[in-house]
Structure 1
Protein backbone atom coordinates (compact mmCIF):
# COMPACT_ATOMS: atom_id res chain seq x y z
CA UNK A 1 0.00 0.00 0.00
CA UNK A 2 1.52 3.23 -1.13
CA UNK A 3 0.65 6.62 0.17
CA UNK A 4 1.06 9.53 -2.19
CA UNK A 5 1.30 13.05 -1.00
CA UNK A 6 0.50 16.06 -3.04
CA UNK A 7 3.25 18.66 -3.17
CA UNK A 8 2.55 21.81 -1.33
CA UNK A 9 2.82 23.90 -4.48
CA UNK A 10 0.25 21.69 -6.26
CA UNK A 11 -2.42 21.86 -3.58
CA UNK A 12 -5.47 23.94 -4.48
CA UNK A 13 -5.64 27.16 -2.62
CA UNK A 14 -8.79 29.05 -1.79
CA UNK A 15 -8.86 32.67 -2.78
CA UNK A 16 -9.93 35.02 -0.05
CA UNK A 17 -13.33 36.58 -0.46
CA UNK A 18 -13.38 40.04 -1.92
CA UNK A 19 -14.00 42.76 0.66
CA UNK A 20 -17.46 44.23 0.76
CA UNK A 21 -16.05 47.64 -0.05
CA UNK A 22 -14.68 46.48 -3.41
CA UNK A 23 -17.98 44.84 -4.35
CA UNK A 24 -19.82 48.06 -3.53
CA UNK A 25 -17.43 50.07 -5.69
CA UNK A 26 -17.98 47.69 -8.60
CA UNK A 27 -21.73 48.06 -8.26
CA UNK A 28 -21.39 51.83 -8.21
CA UNK A 29 -19.29 51.77 -11.38
CA UNK A 30 -21.72 49.48 -13.19
CA UNK A 31 -24.84 51.54 -12.35
CA UNK A 32 -23.89 55.17 -11.67
CA UNK A 33 -27.30 56.53 -12.71
CA UNK A 34 -29.10 54.32 -10.21
CA UNK A 35 -26.76 55.47 -7.44
CA UNK A 36 -27.30 59.14 -8.27
CA UNK A 37 -31.08 58.63 -8.35
CA UNK A 38 -30.97 56.88 -4.96
CA UNK A 39 -28.96 59.68 -3.37
CA UNK A 40 -31.23 62.31 -4.94
CA UNK A 41 -34.37 60.59 -3.65
CA UNK A 42 -32.85 60.20 -0.17
CA UNK A 43 -31.82 63.87 -0.09
CA UNK A 44 -35.27 64.99 -1.21
CA UNK A 45 -36.91 62.85 1.47
CA UNK A 46 -34.63 64.30 4.16
CA UNK A 47 -35.45 67.81 3.03
CA UNK A 48 -39.19 67.11 3.13
CA UNK A 49 -38.81 65.89 6.72
CA UNK A 50 -36.26 68.39 8.03
CA UNK A 51 -37.59 71.64 6.56
CA UNK A 52 -40.88 71.59 8.56
CA UNK A 53 -38.94 70.66 11.71
CA UNK A 54 -36.53 73.56 11.23
CA UNK A 55 -39.43 75.95 10.67
CA UNK A 56 -41.14 74.56 13.78
CA UNK A 57 -38.09 75.06 16.01
CA UNK A 58 -37.41 78.55 14.68
CA UNK A 59 -41.04 79.58 15.17
CA UNK A 60 -41.10 78.31 18.73
CA UNK A 61 -38.32 80.77 19.63
CA UNK A 62 -39.93 83.82 18.02
CA UNK A 63 -42.32 86.38 19.41
CA UNK A 64 -45.79 86.94 17.97
CA UNK A 65 -44.55 90.03 16.13
CA UNK A 66 -41.63 88.18 14.53
CA UNK A 67 -43.89 85.37 13.32
CA UNK A 68 -46.43 87.72 11.74
CA UNK A 69 -44.11 90.35 10.25
CA UNK A 70 -40.94 88.48 9.27
CA UNK A 71 -40.26 85.73 6.69
CA UNK A 72 -41.08 82.19 7.72
CA UNK A 73 -37.46 80.99 7.86
CA UNK A 74 -35.96 84.13 9.36
CA UNK A 75 -33.81 83.59 12.41
CA UNK A 76 -35.20 84.59 15.82
CA UNK A 77 -33.88 87.76 17.42
CA UNK A 78 -33.27 85.95 20.70
CA UNK A 79 -32.10 82.31 20.52
CA UNK A 80 -32.75 81.88 24.24
CA UNK A 81 -36.37 83.03 24.18
CA UNK A 82 -38.00 80.09 25.98
CA UNK A 83 -40.99 82.11 27.16
CA UNK A 84 -43.16 80.38 24.56
CA UNK A 85 -42.41 77.01 26.16
CA UNK A 86 -43.25 78.39 29.59
CA UNK A 87 -46.53 79.82 28.29
CA UNK A 88 -47.36 76.53 26.58
CA UNK A 89 -46.91 74.52 29.77
CA UNK A 90 -48.29 76.99 32.31
CA UNK A 91 -50.84 79.18 30.55
CA UNK A 92 -51.68 76.72 27.78
CA UNK A 93 -52.55 73.93 30.23
CA UNK A 94 -50.29 71.54 28.31
CA UNK A 95 -49.58 69.46 31.40
CA UNK A 96 -53.27 68.63 31.84
CA UNK A 97 -53.63 67.74 28.18
CA UNK A 98 -50.57 65.46 28.34
CA UNK A 99 -51.92 63.78 31.48
CA UNK A 100 -55.26 63.12 29.77
CA UNK A 101 -53.46 61.65 26.76
CA UNK A 102 -51.44 59.33 28.99
CA UNK A 103 -54.56 58.23 30.90
CA UNK A 104 -56.40 57.51 27.64
CA UNK A 105 -53.53 56.02 25.62
CA UNK A 106 -51.74 53.56 27.89
CA UNK A 107 -54.77 51.61 29.22
CA UNK A 108 -56.07 51.40 25.65
CA UNK A 109 -52.68 50.24 24.39
CA UNK A 110 -52.33 47.65 27.16
CA UNK A 111 -55.75 46.10 26.50
CA UNK A 112 -55.27 46.22 22.73
CA UNK A 113 -51.96 44.37 22.94
CA UNK A 114 -53.14 41.87 25.56
CA UNK A 115 -56.38 40.93 23.79
CA UNK A 116 -54.80 41.14 20.33
CA UNK A 117 -51.89 38.83 21.20
CA UNK A 118 -54.23 36.38 22.93
CA UNK A 119 -56.57 36.35 19.92
CA UNK A 120 -53.67 35.88 17.50
CA UNK A 121 -52.41 32.96 19.60
CA UNK A 122 -55.85 31.36 19.67
CA UNK A 123 -56.40 31.81 15.93
CA UNK A 124 -53.05 30.45 14.76
CA UNK A 125 -51.75 28.06 17.42
CA UNK A 126 -54.90 26.48 18.84
CA UNK A 127 -57.02 24.17 16.72
CA UNK A 128 -60.77 24.69 17.00
CA UNK A 129 -63.77 24.82 14.72
CA UNK A 130 -64.69 28.16 13.21
CA UNK A 131 -61.41 29.99 13.74
CA UNK A 132 -61.25 30.91 10.04
CA UNK A 133 -64.60 32.70 10.24
CA UNK A 134 -63.51 34.54 13.39
CA UNK A 135 -60.33 35.72 11.69
CA UNK A 136 -62.34 36.98 8.71
CA UNK A 137 -64.64 38.88 11.06
CA UNK A 138 -61.61 40.60 12.61
CA UNK A 139 -60.35 41.49 9.14
CA UNK A 140 -63.75 42.97 8.33
CA UNK A 141 -63.29 45.35 11.24
CA UNK A 142 -60.28 46.88 9.47
CA UNK A 143 -62.49 47.85 6.52
CA UNK A 144 -65.02 49.82 8.60
CA UNK A 145 -64.18 53.56 8.60
CA UNK A 146 -63.92 55.00 12.08
CA UNK A 147 -66.02 58.02 11.13
CA UNK A 148 -69.08 55.82 10.57
CA UNK A 149 -69.24 54.56 14.15
CA UNK A 150 -68.69 57.83 16.03
CA UNK A 151 -72.33 58.96 16.15
CA UNK A 152 -73.73 55.54 17.24
CA UNK A 153 -70.98 55.25 19.85
CA UNK A 154 -71.69 58.73 21.18
CA UNK A 155 -75.38 57.83 21.55
CA UNK A 156 -74.49 54.63 23.41
CA UNK A 157 -72.05 56.38 25.74
CA UNK A 158 -74.57 59.11 26.45
CA UNK A 159 -77.30 56.61 27.33
CA UNK A 160 -74.88 54.74 29.59
CA UNK A 161 -73.88 58.00 31.32
CA UNK A 162 -70.22 57.55 30.35
CA UNK A 163 -69.82 61.01 28.84
CA UNK A 164 -67.83 63.45 30.91
CA UNK A 165 -65.03 60.90 31.50
CA UNK A 166 -62.11 59.48 29.55
CA UNK A 167 -63.64 56.00 29.54
CA UNK A 168 -65.26 56.42 26.08
CA UNK A 169 -61.81 57.13 24.63
CA UNK A 170 -60.31 54.03 26.23
CA UNK A 171 -63.13 51.78 24.96
CA UNK A 172 -63.12 53.27 21.46
CA UNK A 173 -59.35 53.14 21.03
CA UNK A 174 -59.28 49.51 22.17
CA UNK A 175 -62.09 48.48 19.82
CA UNK A 176 -60.60 50.26 16.82
CA UNK A 177 -57.07 48.98 17.44
CA UNK A 178 -58.00 45.32 17.94
CA UNK A 179 -58.66 44.24 14.29
CA UNK A 180 -55.25 45.33 13.00
CA UNK A 181 -53.50 44.00 16.11
CA UNK A 182 -55.16 40.59 15.81
CA UNK A 183 -54.30 40.36 12.12
CA UNK A 184 -50.64 41.29 12.66
CA UNK A 185 -50.17 39.03 15.68
CA UNK A 186 -51.78 36.09 13.89
CA UNK A 187 -49.30 36.65 11.06
CA UNK A 188 -46.37 36.65 13.49
CA UNK A 189 -47.59 33.51 15.27
CA UNK A 190 -47.89 31.82 11.88
CA UNK A 191 -44.12 32.07 11.52
CA UNK A 192 -43.39 30.40 14.87
CA UNK A 193 -42.55 26.68 14.52
CA UNK A 194 -45.38 24.49 15.80
CA UNK A 195 -42.86 21.99 17.19
CA UNK A 196 -42.14 24.39 20.04
CA UNK A 197 -45.73 24.27 21.28
CA UNK A 198 -45.93 20.52 20.68
CA UNK A 199 -42.87 20.05 22.88
CA UNK A 200 -44.45 22.24 25.56
CA UNK A 201 -47.62 20.14 25.41
CA UNK A 202 -45.58 16.94 25.85
CA UNK A 203 -43.92 18.52 28.88
CA UNK A 204 -47.36 19.01 30.44
CA UNK A 205 -47.79 22.76 29.91
CA UNK A 206 -51.38 23.97 29.82
CA UNK A 207 -52.72 26.34 27.16
CA UNK A 208 -52.42 29.36 29.46
CA UNK A 209 -48.88 28.35 30.44
CA UNK A 210 -47.94 27.96 26.77
CA UNK A 211 -49.30 31.42 26.02
CA UNK A 212 -47.48 33.27 28.80
CA UNK A 213 -44.27 31.19 29.04
CA UNK A 214 -43.75 30.15 25.40
CA UNK A 215 -45.85 32.28 23.06
CA UNK A 216 -45.26 35.75 24.51
CA UNK A 217 -41.42 35.45 24.71
CA UNK A 218 -41.25 34.23 21.11
CA UNK A 219 -43.23 37.17 19.73
CA UNK A 220 -42.09 39.88 22.14
CA UNK A 221 -40.30 41.71 19.31
CA UNK A 222 -43.45 41.62 17.23
CA UNK A 223 -45.36 42.99 20.22
CA UNK A 224 -42.99 45.98 20.29
CA UNK A 225 -43.67 46.55 16.59
CA UNK A 226 -47.45 46.42 16.95
CA UNK A 227 -47.36 48.50 20.14
CA UNK A 228 -45.32 51.15 18.36
CA UNK A 229 -47.84 51.37 15.51
CA UNK A 230 -50.83 51.50 17.82
CA UNK A 231 -49.22 54.01 20.18
CA UNK A 232 -48.70 56.59 17.45
CA UNK A 233 -52.18 56.01 16.05
CA UNK A 234 -53.83 56.58 19.44
CA UNK A 235 -51.55 59.40 20.60
CA UNK A 236 -51.99 61.39 17.37
CA UNK A 237 -55.75 60.89 17.18
CA UNK A 238 -57.80 64.06 16.87
CA UNK A 239 -61.24 63.14 15.55
CA UNK A 240 -62.23 60.61 18.23
CA UNK A 241 -60.86 62.79 21.04
CA UNK A 242 -62.79 65.82 19.76
CA UNK A 243 -65.99 63.78 19.57
CA UNK A 244 -65.96 62.33 23.07
CA UNK A 245 -64.32 65.13 25.10
CA UNK A 246 -66.53 68.12 25.77
CA UNK A 247 -64.73 69.99 28.56
CA UNK A 248 -61.26 71.51 28.70
CA UNK A 249 -60.30 69.29 31.64
CA UNK A 250 -60.75 66.15 29.49
CA UNK A 251 -59.05 67.27 26.28
CA UNK A 252 -56.07 65.28 25.06
CA UNK A 253 -52.92 66.95 23.85
CA UNK A 254 -53.93 66.93 20.18
CA UNK A 255 -57.27 68.59 20.92
CA UNK A 256 -55.65 70.99 23.36
CA UNK A 257 -53.30 72.28 20.67
CA UNK A 258 -56.33 73.69 18.86
CA UNK A 259 -57.18 75.94 21.80
CA UNK A 260 -54.01 78.01 22.16
CA UNK A 261 -55.77 81.35 21.78
CA UNK A 262 -55.17 84.68 23.37
CA UNK A 263 -57.42 87.66 23.94
CA UNK A 264 -60.29 88.12 21.43
CA UNK A 265 -59.65 84.65 19.96
CA UNK A 266 -56.25 85.52 18.49
CA UNK A 267 -54.06 82.47 17.94
CA UNK A 268 -50.85 82.55 19.95
CA UNK A 269 -48.47 81.11 17.36
CA UNK A 270 -45.36 81.09 19.54
CA UNK A 271 -46.78 78.98 22.40
CA UNK A 272 -48.63 76.82 19.86
CA UNK A 273 -45.41 76.01 17.97
CA UNK A 274 -43.60 75.44 21.26
CA UNK A 275 -46.28 72.96 22.37
CA UNK A 276 -46.09 71.18 19.01
CA UNK A 277 -42.30 71.01 19.40
CA UNK A 278 -42.60 69.36 22.80
CA UNK A 279 -45.11 66.87 21.44
CA UNK A 280 -43.17 66.04 18.28
CA UNK A 281 -39.73 65.63 19.82
CA UNK A 282 -41.01 63.69 22.84
CA UNK A 283 -42.81 61.14 20.68
CA UNK A 284 -39.87 61.14 18.26
CA UNK A 285 -37.51 60.15 21.07
CA UNK A 286 -39.84 57.30 22.04
CA UNK A 287 -39.94 56.16 18.42
CA UNK A 288 -36.15 56.16 18.06
CA UNK A 289 -35.68 54.18 21.27
CA UNK A 290 -38.31 51.53 20.50
CA UNK A 291 -37.45 51.37 16.81
CA UNK A 292 -33.90 50.25 17.58
CA UNK A 293 -35.17 47.52 19.87
CA UNK A 294 -37.70 46.35 17.31
CA UNK A 295 -35.21 46.24 14.44
CA UNK A 296 -32.60 44.35 16.47
CA UNK A 297 -35.19 41.88 17.75
CA UNK A 298 -36.80 41.14 14.39
CA UNK A 299 -33.45 40.29 12.78
CA UNK A 300 -32.54 37.93 15.62
CA UNK A 301 -35.21 35.33 14.78
CA UNK A 302 -37.54 33.41 17.03
CA UNK A 303 -35.54 30.18 17.44
CA UNK A 304 -31.96 30.16 18.62
CA UNK A 305 -29.86 27.06 18.39
Structure 2
Protein backbone atom coordinates (compact mmCIF):
# COMPACT_ATOMS: atom_id res chain seq x y z
CA UNK A 1 0.00 0.00 0.00
CA UNK A 2 2.83 2.39 0.85
CA UNK A 3 4.53 1.55 -2.44
CA UNK A 4 1.33 2.34 -4.34
CA UNK A 5 0.97 5.72 -2.62
CA UNK A 6 4.58 6.55 -3.38
CA UNK A 7 4.05 5.61 -7.02
CA UNK A 8 0.91 7.76 -7.23
CA UNK A 9 2.78 10.76 -5.77
CA UNK A 10 5.50 10.35 -8.39
CA UNK A 11 3.03 9.83 -11.24
CA UNK A 12 2.74 13.57 -12.17
CA UNK A 13 6.53 13.79 -12.27
CA UNK A 14 6.81 10.82 -14.62
CA UNK A 15 4.04 12.21 -16.82
CA UNK A 16 5.85 15.55 -17.04
CA UNK A 17 9.16 13.85 -17.85
CA UNK A 18 7.47 11.74 -20.52
CA UNK A 19 5.91 14.82 -22.14
CA UNK A 20 9.28 16.59 -22.16
CA UNK A 21 10.97 13.56 -23.72
CA UNK A 22 8.35 13.41 -26.46
CA UNK A 23 8.72 17.13 -27.17
CA UNK A 24 12.53 16.84 -27.35
CA UNK A 25 12.83 13.49 -29.13
CA UNK A 26 10.06 13.87 -31.71
CA UNK A 27 11.82 16.45 -33.94
CA UNK A 28 15.13 14.58 -33.63
CA UNK A 29 13.60 11.24 -34.68
CA UNK A 30 11.77 13.00 -37.52
CA UNK A 31 15.00 14.60 -38.68
CA UNK A 32 17.06 11.39 -38.49
CA UNK A 33 14.44 9.40 -40.40
CA UNK A 34 14.20 12.18 -42.98
CA UNK A 35 17.95 12.10 -43.52
CA UNK A 36 17.63 8.59 -45.03
CA UNK A 37 14.69 9.38 -47.33
CA UNK A 38 14.56 10.41 -50.95
CA UNK A 39 13.06 13.75 -51.94
CA UNK A 40 9.80 12.18 -53.11
CA UNK A 41 9.44 10.10 -49.92
CA UNK A 42 10.03 13.14 -47.78
CA UNK A 43 7.31 15.15 -49.52
CA UNK A 44 4.69 12.42 -49.89
CA UNK A 45 5.06 10.03 -46.93
CA UNK A 46 4.12 10.70 -43.28
CA UNK A 47 6.77 12.42 -41.17
CA UNK A 48 7.60 9.44 -38.95
CA UNK A 49 7.32 6.76 -41.63
CA UNK A 50 10.35 4.56 -42.16
CA UNK A 51 12.29 5.06 -45.39
CA UNK A 52 11.52 2.48 -48.07
CA UNK A 53 15.24 2.48 -48.82
CA UNK A 54 17.87 3.72 -46.37
CA UNK A 55 19.75 6.27 -48.49
CA UNK A 56 23.19 6.73 -46.92
CA UNK A 57 24.15 8.68 -50.03
CA UNK A 58 22.40 11.68 -48.44
CA UNK A 59 25.25 11.82 -45.91
CA UNK A 60 27.83 11.45 -48.67
CA UNK A 61 26.18 14.27 -50.62
CA UNK A 62 26.09 16.49 -47.53
CA UNK A 63 29.80 15.96 -46.84
CA UNK A 64 30.97 16.32 -50.45
CA UNK A 65 28.59 18.27 -52.66
CA UNK A 66 27.24 20.25 -49.72
CA UNK A 67 30.79 20.98 -48.42
CA UNK A 68 29.74 20.11 -44.86
CA UNK A 69 33.06 18.35 -44.32
CA UNK A 70 34.90 21.61 -45.07
CA UNK A 71 32.48 23.49 -42.82
CA UNK A 72 33.23 21.12 -39.95
CA UNK A 73 36.96 21.67 -40.39
CA UNK A 74 36.46 25.44 -40.42
CA UNK A 75 34.42 25.25 -37.20
CA UNK A 76 37.16 23.21 -35.53
CA UNK A 77 39.83 25.67 -36.69
CA UNK A 78 37.85 28.57 -35.24
CA UNK A 79 36.37 26.98 -32.11
CA UNK A 80 39.40 25.30 -30.53
CA UNK A 81 41.72 28.37 -30.48
CA UNK A 82 38.84 30.60 -29.37
CA UNK A 83 37.87 28.36 -26.44
CA UNK A 84 41.51 27.89 -25.37
CA UNK A 85 42.10 31.66 -25.36
CA UNK A 86 38.81 32.41 -23.59
CA UNK A 87 39.45 29.87 -20.85
CA UNK A 88 43.13 30.64 -20.29
CA UNK A 89 42.75 34.44 -20.27
CA UNK A 90 39.53 34.19 -18.22
CA UNK A 91 41.20 31.98 -15.59
CA UNK A 92 44.21 34.29 -15.43
CA UNK A 93 41.97 37.36 -15.13
CA UNK A 94 39.85 35.72 -12.42
CA UNK A 95 43.02 34.85 -10.50
CA UNK A 96 44.39 38.38 -10.83
CA UNK A 97 41.12 40.00 -9.78
CA UNK A 98 40.29 37.74 -6.84
CA UNK A 99 43.56 36.35 -5.46
CA UNK A 100 46.11 39.07 -6.16
CA UNK A 101 45.79 42.24 -4.07
CA UNK A 102 46.18 45.50 -5.98
CA UNK A 103 44.50 48.88 -6.03
CA UNK A 104 41.50 49.29 -8.33
CA UNK A 105 40.74 45.62 -8.93
CA UNK A 106 37.09 46.09 -7.95
CA UNK A 107 36.62 48.80 -10.56
CA UNK A 108 38.34 46.68 -13.21
CA UNK A 109 36.00 43.78 -12.46
CA UNK A 110 32.97 46.07 -12.85
CA UNK A 111 34.41 47.37 -16.13
CA UNK A 112 34.80 43.80 -17.41
CA UNK A 113 31.26 42.92 -16.30
CA UNK A 114 29.99 45.87 -18.33
CA UNK A 115 31.02 43.92 -21.41
CA UNK A 116 28.29 41.37 -20.66
CA UNK A 117 25.66 44.10 -21.05
CA UNK A 118 26.87 45.18 -24.50
CA UNK A 119 24.85 43.43 -27.25
CA UNK A 120 27.14 41.78 -29.76
CA UNK A 121 25.05 43.05 -32.68
CA UNK A 122 26.07 46.65 -31.84
CA UNK A 123 29.77 46.12 -32.44
CA UNK A 124 29.81 43.80 -35.47
CA UNK A 125 29.88 46.55 -38.10
CA UNK A 126 32.62 48.63 -36.37
CA UNK A 127 34.62 45.44 -35.88
CA UNK A 128 34.26 44.48 -39.55
CA UNK A 129 35.46 47.93 -40.62
CA UNK A 130 38.42 47.69 -38.24
CA UNK A 131 39.38 44.22 -39.46
CA UNK A 132 39.08 45.38 -43.06
CA UNK A 133 41.37 48.36 -42.47
CA UNK A 134 44.11 46.24 -40.90
CA UNK A 135 43.77 43.64 -43.65
CA UNK A 136 42.74 40.45 -41.83
CA UNK A 137 39.21 39.98 -43.17
CA UNK A 138 40.24 37.16 -45.51
CA UNK A 139 41.27 34.87 -42.64
CA UNK A 140 39.98 33.13 -39.52
CA UNK A 141 41.44 35.81 -37.22
CA UNK A 142 38.32 38.04 -37.13
CA UNK A 143 36.22 35.12 -35.93
CA UNK A 144 38.75 33.95 -33.32
CA UNK A 145 39.36 37.46 -31.96
CA UNK A 146 35.66 38.32 -31.84
CA UNK A 147 34.66 35.08 -30.11
CA UNK A 148 37.47 35.53 -27.59
CA UNK A 149 36.52 39.12 -26.80
CA UNK A 150 32.83 38.31 -26.42
CA UNK A 151 33.41 35.25 -24.25
CA UNK A 152 35.89 36.85 -21.84
CA UNK A 153 33.56 39.00 -19.67
CA UNK A 154 31.34 36.12 -18.57
CA UNK A 155 34.28 33.73 -18.21
CA UNK A 156 36.23 36.22 -16.10
CA UNK A 157 33.24 36.81 -13.82
CA UNK A 158 32.65 33.08 -13.37
CA UNK A 159 36.31 32.32 -12.70
CA UNK A 160 36.56 35.18 -10.18
CA UNK A 161 33.54 33.69 -8.42
CA UNK A 162 35.15 30.25 -8.36
CA UNK A 163 38.42 31.66 -7.01
CA UNK A 164 36.44 33.48 -4.32
CA UNK A 165 35.27 30.11 -2.98
CA UNK A 166 38.88 28.95 -2.43
CA UNK A 167 40.31 29.87 0.99
CA UNK A 168 42.86 32.65 0.60
CA UNK A 169 45.04 30.90 3.19
CA UNK A 170 45.97 28.32 0.55
CA UNK A 171 47.65 30.94 -1.63
CA UNK A 172 49.08 32.77 1.40
CA UNK A 173 50.74 29.56 2.53
CA UNK A 174 52.22 29.11 -0.94
CA UNK A 175 53.59 32.66 -0.80
CA UNK A 176 55.19 31.99 2.57
CA UNK A 177 56.87 28.90 1.06
CA UNK A 178 58.43 31.13 -1.61
CA UNK A 179 55.91 30.61 -4.40
CA UNK A 180 55.55 33.70 -6.60
CA UNK A 181 52.27 34.84 -8.20
CA UNK A 182 53.03 33.25 -11.58
CA UNK A 183 54.08 29.91 -10.10
CA UNK A 184 51.16 29.99 -7.68
CA UNK A 185 48.80 30.45 -10.61
CA UNK A 186 50.10 27.42 -12.52
CA UNK A 187 50.79 25.16 -9.53
CA UNK A 188 47.73 25.97 -7.40
CA UNK A 189 45.27 28.10 -9.35
CA UNK A 190 44.78 25.97 -12.45
CA UNK A 191 44.61 22.58 -10.63
CA UNK A 192 42.12 23.95 -8.11
CA UNK A 193 39.98 25.35 -10.92
CA UNK A 194 39.99 22.14 -12.97
CA UNK A 195 36.26 21.53 -12.52
CA UNK A 196 35.41 25.15 -13.28
CA UNK A 197 37.66 25.15 -16.36
CA UNK A 198 35.85 22.16 -17.85
CA UNK A 199 32.47 23.67 -17.03
CA UNK A 200 33.25 27.08 -18.54
CA UNK A 201 35.04 25.47 -21.47
CA UNK A 202 31.96 23.39 -22.25
CA UNK A 203 29.69 26.43 -22.17
CA UNK A 204 32.01 28.46 -24.38
CA UNK A 205 32.52 25.57 -26.81
CA UNK A 206 28.80 25.28 -27.49
CA UNK A 207 28.45 29.06 -27.66
CA UNK A 208 31.16 29.40 -30.31
CA UNK A 209 30.23 26.27 -32.26
CA UNK A 210 26.53 27.16 -32.49
CA UNK A 211 27.05 30.82 -33.39
CA UNK A 212 25.63 31.98 -36.70
CA UNK A 213 25.52 35.78 -36.61
CA UNK A 214 29.24 36.44 -36.04
CA UNK A 215 30.29 33.68 -38.44
CA UNK A 216 27.93 34.99 -41.11
CA UNK A 217 29.24 38.54 -40.66
CA UNK A 218 32.97 37.79 -40.86
CA UNK A 219 32.92 34.91 -43.37
CA UNK A 220 34.09 36.46 -46.63
CA UNK A 221 34.41 33.27 -48.72
CA UNK A 222 32.27 30.09 -48.90
CA UNK A 223 35.44 28.04 -48.33
CA UNK A 224 35.78 29.67 -44.88
CA UNK A 225 32.17 29.08 -43.79
CA UNK A 226 31.63 27.39 -40.43
CA UNK A 227 29.13 24.58 -39.92
CA UNK A 228 26.23 26.88 -39.01
CA UNK A 229 26.78 29.06 -42.08
CA UNK A 230 27.13 25.92 -44.18
CA UNK A 231 23.81 24.56 -42.90
CA UNK A 232 22.16 27.88 -43.67
CA UNK A 233 23.41 27.90 -47.27
CA UNK A 234 22.93 24.16 -47.87
CA UNK A 235 19.29 24.66 -48.82
CA UNK A 236 20.34 26.61 -51.95
CA UNK A 237 23.30 24.38 -52.78
CA UNK A 238 21.28 22.39 -55.31
CA UNK A 239 19.13 25.21 -56.65
CA UNK A 240 16.21 23.99 -54.51
CA UNK A 241 16.03 22.56 -51.02
CA UNK A 242 17.02 18.88 -50.97
CA UNK A 243 15.73 17.72 -47.62
CA UNK A 244 17.65 14.44 -47.49
CA UNK A 245 21.17 15.96 -47.59
CA UNK A 246 20.02 18.91 -45.45
CA UNK A 247 18.65 16.68 -42.71
CA UNK A 248 21.74 14.47 -42.96
CA UNK A 249 23.98 17.50 -42.36
CA UNK A 250 21.90 18.64 -39.37
CA UNK A 251 21.94 15.10 -37.95
CA UNK A 252 25.73 14.99 -38.21
CA UNK A 253 25.99 18.32 -36.41
CA UNK A 254 23.76 17.13 -33.57
CA UNK A 255 25.70 13.87 -33.32
CA UNK A 256 28.99 15.75 -32.95
CA UNK A 257 27.56 18.09 -30.31
CA UNK A 258 26.03 15.21 -28.33
CA UNK A 259 29.32 13.31 -28.41
CA UNK A 260 31.29 16.32 -27.18
CA UNK A 261 28.75 17.02 -24.46
CA UNK A 262 28.77 13.43 -23.18
CA UNK A 263 32.57 13.23 -23.14
CA UNK A 264 33.02 16.58 -21.38
CA UNK A 265 30.17 15.91 -18.97
CA UNK A 266 31.79 12.66 -17.85
CA UNK A 267 35.12 14.45 -17.44
CA UNK A 268 33.53 17.19 -15.33
CA UNK A 269 31.76 14.69 -13.08
CA UNK A 270 34.98 12.70 -12.64
CA UNK A 271 36.89 15.86 -11.70
CA UNK A 272 34.23 16.89 -9.19
CA UNK A 273 34.27 13.42 -7.59
CA UNK A 274 38.07 13.47 -7.39
CA UNK A 275 38.00 16.89 -5.75
CA UNK A 276 35.44 15.73 -3.21
CA UNK A 277 37.57 12.70 -2.29
CA UNK A 278 40.66 14.85 -1.83
CA UNK A 279 38.69 17.06 0.50
Q: TM-score, normalised by structure 2?
A: 0.94
Whether 1:54 and 2:54 are equivalent positions in the alignment is no
1:1-305 superposed matches below 5 A: 29=5, 32-33=8-9, 35-79=10-54, 81-261=55-235, 265-301=239-275, 304-305=278-279
Contact 2:198 2:268 in 1 (8 A): yes
RMSD: 1.9
* Structure 2: 5+ residue stretches without partners: none
CA distance in structure 1 between the partners assigned to 2:160 and 2:42 by the alignment: 50
Please report how far the alpha carbon of residue 264 of structure 1 lies from its aligned counterpart in structure 2 after TM superposition: 6.7
Structure 1 residues 190, 197: closer, same or farther in 2, change over 3 A?
A: same
The total of aligned residue pairs comes to 279
Contact 2:171 2:184 in 1 (8 A): yes
Structure 1 residues 202, 51: closer, same or farther in 2, change over 3 A?
A: same
Please report how far the alpha carbon of residue 303 of structure 1 lies from its aligned counterpart in structure 2 after TM superposition: 8.1
CA distance in structure 2 between the partners assigned to 1:182 and 1:89 by the alignment: 37
For the pair shown, the structure with the greater C-alpha radius of gyration is: 1
Structure 1 residues 137, 303: closer, same or farther in 2, change over 3 A?
A: farther
* Structure 1: 5+ residue stretches without partners: 1-24
Report the 3-state secondary structure (helix = DSSP H, G, I; strand = E; otherwise coil) of the residue aligned with 2:103. Answer: coil
Q: TM-score, normalised by structure 1?
A: 0.87
CA distance in structure 1 between the partners assigned to 2:267 and 2:72 by the alignment: 25
Higher helix share goes to which structure? Answer: 2
Q: 1:4 corresponds to which residue?
A: none
